[in-house]
Amino acid sequence: MNGRLVHLRDVWQPVYHSSKGTPFGAPGIESSDCPASAVDAEIAELLAQVLEDIAAAKATGATMYGPRLAEWPAAYVDARRVVEAELNALQNARMKAETSE
């Protein structure tokens, strides 16, 4: 799923397309500013780390910080929770778009 940003009435929203070309987006994701302007090097590194860890956990069942959530850095837990919630919302929106095709 490759997304692109469209500028509609002063609101940025990600727009994706299903395998049959039906446009969809994740509900509630919009910004009055270009989202890239909020991502600095530190945030980009954290997001990359979270996405790599999610992929590794799906493939192997293991996570970067081990099985005990209490031992994970708090900022990482927050970032991972938000990223996983948004990935789930996007997946749900894709499935909804595909079922209406």
Q: Rounded to an integer, what distance in angstroms lies between the CA atom of residue 60 and that of residue 47?
A: 20
Contacts of 4 (CB under 8 A, 6+ apart): 14, 15
Burial per residue of 6-24, b for 16 or more beta-carbon CB atoms within 10 angstroms, e otherwise: eeeeeebbbebebeeeeeb
* Higher pLDDT among residues 33 and 4, named by residue: 33
The single residue listed with the structure tokens 């090097």 is 41
Residue pair 79/65 in contact (Cβ under 8 Å)? The answer is: no
Q: Give residue 53's pLDDT.
A: 95
Claim: this prediction has a pTM higher than 0.75? no
Give the tens place of pLDDT for each residue, 39-68. 899 999 999 999 999 999 999 999 999 999
